[in-house]
């Protein structure tokens, strides 16, 4: 089937499936295809590690594109780390590397909310972790009151933030749709007025995440197996350049190029095991907009998990590959 014939076939499918747009646009509205009873902590959700690092230097940059572009590629979980400049401006941070003002990030998130009311975002917002290198101690701060002011200015949390619930494991897409909520701010310390301390784990092991690519691909499956939660399971698929490990100090991009050939295998190992598949939730990585392949493999898991509305399964599947 050539491109033009295939494209015509897709347009026919659009008519068949209540005019839902399929051609590439599925990545910007994929949640609209999910069943009402799909639980938010069971959906396979593409995530962006250090989502705000796209303007940073090569040693700190983990993403190529801004938040809004990441959203259009299907990202729904954003790792946002904050610090404050000397002039008091709150900015996104990856350690000592500084990115855009937090206000610019919130402006992009607001664009997401304005574009599509079918999608739900998980915003993991917090100060960057304090670090220590020998005697050198690094502290990163962002005044919670100022963060709240910016969130209220751009994101209307009273209207759109999901925070008043008893158990995140009981929250379904149907609940979210009925409530009109559009995002959740995850922060176990509840640093912010509308943040949630719902369970959220992101297992990490220095030795495994700093090993050679082939060993890493095997090791993180063991890490996945050895952890569980009733909340959000944030599974990270990017290596970490650490001094003293096999990968030592290098750039995130070089690491991604070495691991990327193993990514499909990692996803397959989750898909073929029923216990793993049941636990699959947030799957995050670096350079998620390099192409559609990582997001595509993650989103296909929702078909395997039977979370896509039966009426739209064919359109959803086709849209991932066209």
Greatest pairwise CA separation for the chain in angstroms? 65
Q: Tell me how far CA of residue 67 lies from CA of 52, 109, 121, in angstroms.
A: 7, 7, 12
The number of angstroms, rounded, from the C-alpha of 156 to the middle of its chain's C-alpha atoms is: 21
Query: Is residue 285 very low, low, confident or very high in pLDDT (cuts 50, 70, 90)?
Result: very high
SS (H, E, C) 206-259: HHHHCCCHHHHHHHHHHHHHCCCCCCEEEEECCCCCCCCCCCCCCCHHHHHHHH
Task: Please state, in angstroms and rounded to a whole number, the distance separating the CA atoms of residues 7 and 53.
Answer: 35
Could you tell me which residue, 15 or 119, shows the higher pLDDT? 119
State whether residue 132 is helix, strand or coil.
strand
Query: Is residue 248 very low, low, confident or very high in pLDDT (cuts 50, 70, 90)?
Result: confident
Q: Is the pLDDT of residue 86 over 70?
A: yes
Tell me the domain boundaries of the chain: 35-306
Per-residue model confidence (pLDDT) at position 129: 86
Query: Is residue 249 very low, low, confident or very high in pLDDT (cuts 50, 70, 90)?
Result: confident
SS (H, E, C) 150-205: HHHHHHCHHHHECCCCCCHHHCEHHHHHHHCCCEEEECCCCCCCCEECCCEECCCC
Which CATH number among 3.20.20.140, 3.90.180.10, 1.10.580.10, 3.20.20.190 corresponds to the domain 35-306? 3.20.20.190
Q: In whole numbers, what is the pLDDT of the chain averaged over residues?
A: 91
The mean pLDDT value for 265-282 works out to 98
What pTM was computed for the model? 0.92
Query: Is residue 24 very low, low, confident or very high in pLDDT (cuts 50, 70, 90)?
Result: low
The mean pLDDT value for 4-10 works out to 35
Helix (H) or strand (E) segment spanning residue 148: helix 144-155
Neighbours of 43 (CB within 10 A): 23
How do residues 192-244 score in pLDDT, each as one tens digit?
A: 999 998 999 999 999 999 999 999 999 999 999 999 999 999 999 999 988 77
The mean pLDDT value for 309-319 works out to 94
Nearest to 37 by CA among 204, 208, 173: 173
């Amino acid at each position: 089937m050539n491109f033009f014939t295939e494209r015509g076939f897709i347009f026919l499918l659009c008519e068949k499936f209540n005019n839902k747009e399929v051609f590439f646009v599925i990545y910007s509205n994929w949640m609209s295809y999910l069943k009402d009873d799909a639980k938010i902590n069971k959906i396979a959700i593409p995530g962006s590690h250090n989502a705000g690092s796209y303007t940073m230097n090569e040693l700190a940059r983990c993403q190529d594109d801004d938040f809004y572009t990441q959203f259009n590629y299907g990202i729904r979980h954003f790792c946002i780390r904050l610090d404050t400049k000397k002039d008091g401006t709150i900015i996104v941070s990856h350690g000592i590397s500084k990115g855009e003002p937090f206000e610019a990030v919130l402006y992009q998130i607001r664009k997401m909310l304005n574009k599509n009311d079918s999608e739900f975002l998980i915003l993991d917002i917090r100060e960057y972790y304090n670090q220590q290198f020998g005697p050198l101690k690094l502290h990163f701060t962002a005044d919670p009151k100022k963060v709240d002011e910016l969130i209220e200015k751009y994101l209307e949390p009273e209207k759109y933030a999901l925070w008043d619930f008893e158990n995140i494991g009981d929250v379904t897409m149907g609940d979210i749709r009925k409530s009109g909520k559009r995002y959740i701010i995850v922060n176990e310390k509840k640093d912010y007025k509308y943040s949630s301390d719902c369970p959220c784990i992101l297992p990490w092991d220095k030795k495994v995440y700093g090993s050679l690519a082939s060993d890493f691909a095997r090791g993180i499956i063991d890490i996945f197996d050895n952890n569980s939660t009733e909340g959000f399971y944030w599974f990270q698929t990017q290596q970490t350049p650490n001094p003293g490990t096999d990968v030592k100090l290098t750039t995130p991009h070089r690491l991604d190029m070495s691991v990327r050939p193993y990514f499909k295998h990692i996803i397959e190992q989750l898909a073929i095991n029923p216990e793993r598949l049941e636990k699959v939730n947030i799957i995050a990585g670096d350079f998620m907009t390099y192409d559609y392949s990582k997001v595509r493999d993650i989103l296909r898991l929702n078909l395997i998990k039977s979370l896509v509305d039966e009426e739209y399964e064919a359109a959803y599947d086709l849209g991932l590959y066209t």
